[in-house]
Amino acid sequence: MEEKLISKKKPTFPINKKLYNYLSEYNRNIKIPVFYDDLLRFSGSVTVYDKNDKDTLWIRVYYPEFEQKEIDMSLKQMYNILHGDGTEDNLDILIVDEIDYCTFGNSKPFRIKIRNMLNDNYTYIYVKKADASRVYGLELEDILSPNNINFLIYKETLIEEHVLGIPGDVFMEESLEELSRSEKLRLSKEFVKFNERNTIRLLGDMRSYNYVIVPTFDFDQVQYRIRSMDFDQQSFEGKLKVYRPQFFKDNYPFVKMVEDNLQKESIEQYRKEERSILAKRLKGSHDRIKQLLDCMKNDVISTPENIENLRTELYYFTKDKNFKTCSNMGYILEVAFDFVVRNYESVNAYIIR
């Protein structure tokens, strides 16, 4: 059962000096005008409900009047640093509409809605407590997935851009049954590739509310992409199933859709395609991946029990004896990536011959 996959809340791991240096080299570590702890000083709140009057588990917070203006100005400046060049030319046309706080989950984020008064366009940014697991997850997403993701870190504060899309649980409830046969085929293919990608890069806990569905209109059809939006569970858990979205019970509608629409041969073909794409990205980003893995190999982002269990499960899953000697999650991920690249290169060498 799902409850046994993740039995304990993941702790927060600090950002060490080596990781900070890496983030600085790639312009992720930039001084920002407001800290996570500053936003915790709210004086009151109201519950946020969705369109069906269901509690969203977010609360809308407000601050004493003398602090609100200062906080709003700092948040607008931070928005400009994340999305622009950091100048203050447009601050007069930006307004902070809402500051919401989520008490559910590991990161307990603040969600900031910032609106352009000239055209009413708005976007969200998130302010969270910095966590090494999440930073590794964000970096790997940006490097290895089809999706770029923008984030900044300063001391113990993490700022992320909003991931656009329809939350997986909402999509299943409101849209899945309305899809045509061809649309279900395309979404099935994407779920197989999404499942494979998360397994290889060891991103866990992809329950349906931790990823989004992104429909894209292409001539006379709709293509789908599945994007992760929660990265807390990067390389922490010791059970391999945690890194395979197919084993979470609230993903069952998608698993059933795959079973109903794809033959085993097609599923295996799409898994191979995703492994090949990942191998190409790993080879193309070799230096940066090596730097990031060096940070992970010198970091603590899991427990000895989880490390021992995961390396054992991966050995039996892949039959790669290199997993047996891994001493932490950084080494496990390095062996996993090497396994994918070696298989890709051996197949290509055979084809060339």
Q: Where are the domains of the chain?
A: 2-161, 166-352
CA atoms of 61 and 42, how far apart (whole Å): 6
In the prediction, which pLDDT does 350 show? 46
- Asked whether the beta carbons of 67 and 55 are under 8 A apart, the reply is no
Per-residue pLDDT of the chain (353 residues; tens, 9 = 90+): 444 687 678 999 999 999 999 999 999 998 889 899 999 999 999 999 988 898 988 999 999 988 999 999 999 999 999 988 778 888 999 999 999 999 877 778 999 999 999 999 999 999 999 999 999 999 999 999 999 999 999 999 999 999 999 999 999 999 999 999 999 999 999 999 999 999 999 999 999 999 999 999 887 788 999 999 999 999 999 999 999 999 999 999 999 999 999 999 999 999 999 999 999 999 999 999 999 999 999 999 999 999 999 999 999 999 999 999 999 999 999 999 999 999 888 766 544 44
In the prediction, which pLDDT does 30 show? 87
b/e map of 5-43 (b: 16 or more CB within 10 Å)? bbeeebebbebeeebbebbeeeebbeebbbebebbeebe
In the prediction, which pLDDT does 87 show? 81
**Most distant pair of Cα atoms in the chain: their distance:** 73
In the prediction, which pLDDT does 72 show? 95
